[in-house]
Structures are given as structure tokens and as C-alpha cells.
Amino acid sequence: MTKILHADCDCFYAAVEMRDNPELRDIPIAVGGSAEGRGVIATCNYPARTFGIHSAMSSAQALRLCPHLTVIKPDFERYREVSAQIMAIFRELTEWVEPLSLDEAYLDISGVERFKGSGTWMAQWLKAEVLRRTGITVSIGVAPNKFLAKIASDWHKPDGLFVITPEQVDAFVAELGVDKLPGVGPATAQRLKQMNISDCTELGRCSLSILVDRFGKFGHRLYELSRGIDRRDVKVHRERKSISAENTFERDLTPAQVIAQELTPMVDKLAARIDRHGTPASSKIFIKLRFDDFTTTTLESSAMLPSITNFTELFERAWQRGQRPVRLVGVGIRLLDAEHSRQLALFGAPL
Ligand SMILES: [Mg+2]
């Protein structure tokens, strides 16, 4: 039986700020870009929410709603540190952790034997450990699938814990408003409303053919969601930090031989791999060189395209470090981590 836990920190960035500066605890604060710089609110604390402030709102508008709002410039370095601590606690429970952002993750706890397999006990332990070790409160939902676990974590937020057992799924879903379903935004909710559908009971009465007719492929998903079905797995993937190609030569080569014979096919191979991966937002190129005495050196350069000219230049500079016959050469690009680039983009910072 599948058992998914969804953990979501409560107003994470603001929570880190309040933890580190208790004077901010009871006053309305928001973390975001400056109003002058046309910034937006990334997150705000609960006192700020009573003024109607929410994330993605412009800072200027937030300040109109609450003129004494304290807007704090985000410190992602620190948030990432706390996030890594929290994710590490999740991984003490299971290796099946799928982070969605710095402060949110799905855990597949189906196979966890600790706590007698009780999702409630696991959630209680996680909440207590995260609070004790990082000072951050987490809301947790446990359910038989991702979509319900995510709704459950939001159910009693902040500092919430809500469990939907398999037996409770039908009753829970029956009452659920369609606007709570993942993928249903205001436009889809409006279209459903025109069909006199506002909750999952009403949605469940709709035939699959009508839903597919009206909503295309998403109609099939709506049909399943209204029955509490979600087949998505928890995906554990390590973020790819680099793409590279390397080659150990059959015999040691002079630098001229490397440049004449080896570099071009390696750079072509790299280019094909980059193509398969999708063009990264930003990257550095690097070269790795191993000499015949097995000493290895790596040299990287930012803001350069992975072209043969650039790799040749980088190779020549790297070779100067050892000036010996070459055993192995690697060429590659380092990727800017996706979360980092997303956060920068949110605040309009140049990449
Ligand atoms: Mg959150």
C-alpha cells in the first residue's frame, strides 16, 4: 500500500528571518524585492497575511495594504543552508525524498518500518526533529497519494498534521472543492462552475467522455482526481551538476596530438549530450587533464561557450600546469543549480 508524506515549512523564508531575529516575530514582515526595484513578495509571516498580503504580490502593493510592513531582502545562502538541514532530516526517515522547492518535499514512506510503519508517528517525529534542530515549523500531510498528501499538509497549516487513511479517501474527496485539485486554476474552476460542478462529488458524476471532450487530456486527470486517484510516483533524482565527456588515451599524447586528434570529437560528444539535456540557463566550461604521472588538474572558465576554440584555449592553459605527456582529457560544462536560477529570476537579478 502506497503511503506518501508531504512536508511543507510554514512561511519558510520569513520563518528563518524570525528565528534569527525574534524582534520580527510579532510584527508583519515579508521577504522579497524592494518596492522601488519593482520587486515581489516571496513569502510573508502570518501577521502580514492578516493584511491580505500574499506571495507573488508586488512589494509596492503589499506596502499599500500595510504601510508599516517590514520588507526584508532575501538571503538565499542562509535559506539554502537551513533547507539542506531539513532535507537531511527527511532523508533520515527514508531515501525516497523528492524536494519540490527549498521548503517542500514529498516522501514515499510506504516501506518505512520505523515507528511501526505509522505515518502519524513519522510525521510527529519529523515535525519535532525539524523544530528542535532548525527552529522551523513544518506542516505535514499523509495520504495514499501525492495529490491528497499535499492537500492534507495545507489542511491544518501552520504547524499542521493531517492524515487521510485509505478508508477516509472517498469521504474526504467527496467534500473537496474542485479548486483544490492540482492543475485546476481559476479559469478551469470557472468552466467547471458553468457545468454546475463545484466539488468532487459533482465532478465524479461527469462521464469520462464528457470530461475529455471539454478538457482534452486533462479531462482524464480530472476524472481520476475526483475519485481520489493519483498515480504519480515520488521521484528521487540527484540534481545534475555537470555534463561532461572524457577519454583515457591508449597511449600518452603530446599536447599537439591532443589538440589535433582528440579534442574535436570530445567536444562534439559533449555538444550532443548538452543537446539531449536541454540548453542550460547558465554554465561554466571546464577541462580536466591527467598527466602521465597521474597528477590531475581541472581548469574552468565562466561565461564561455562550449566551443572547440574555447576548449583548446583552456586545454593549453591547463597543460602549462604540468607540461608532461597527457593520459586523459575531460571536457564539460557546470550547470548553475536550477533552484538558484529560479530564485534569481524571481527577483529580476541577472543570471
Ligand atoms: Mg511552504
Q: Is 104 a catalytic residue?
A: yes
Query: What rounded mean pLDDT belongs to the chain?
Result: 90
Distance separating alpha carbons of residues 51 and 64, to the nearest angstrom: 10
How many angstroms separate the alpha carbon of residue 294 from the centre of ligand 1? 48
How many angstroms separate the alpha carbon of residue 43 from the centre of ligand 1? 9
CB 219 within 8 A of CB 211: yes
What confidence tens digit (pLDDT) does each residue in 55-90 have?
989 999 999 999 999 999 999 999 999 999 999 999
CATH code: domain 242-340 is 3.30.1490.100
Element (H, E) at 220: helix 217-225
Give the count of beta carbons closer than 10 Å to the beta carbon of residue 145. Answer: 21
**Domain chopping of the chain, boundaries:** 4-11+77-165, 12-75, 170-225, 242-340
Q: Radius of gyration (Cα) for the chain, nearest Å? A: 26
How many angstroms separate the alpha carbon of residue 230 from the centre of ligand 1? 22
- What one-character-per-residue DSSP string does 43-108 give? EE-HHHHTTT--TTSBHHHHHHH-TT-EEE---HHHHHHHHHHHHHHHHHH-S-EEEEETTEEEEE
- Write down the pLDDT at residue 339: 47
CATH code: domain 4-11+77-165 is 3.30.70.270
Give the count of beta carbons closer than 10 Å to the beta carbon of residue 102. Answer: 21
Element (H, E) at 326: strand 326-335
Q: Which of 104, 113, 129, 167 does the annotation list as catalytic?
A: 104
Q: What CATH number matches the domain at 12-75, 3.30.365.10, 3.30.70.1400, 3.40.1170.60, 3.90.1150.10?
A: 3.40.1170.60
Residue 144 DSSP code: S
Instruction: Tell me what the mean pLDDT of segment 144-159 comes to.
Output: 96
- Write down the pLDDT at residue 238: 58
Element (H, E) at 239: none
SS3 49: helix
How many angstroms separate the alpha carbon of residue 155 from the centre of ligand 1? 13
- Whole-prediction pTM value? 0.69
- Write down the pLDDT at residue 239: 57
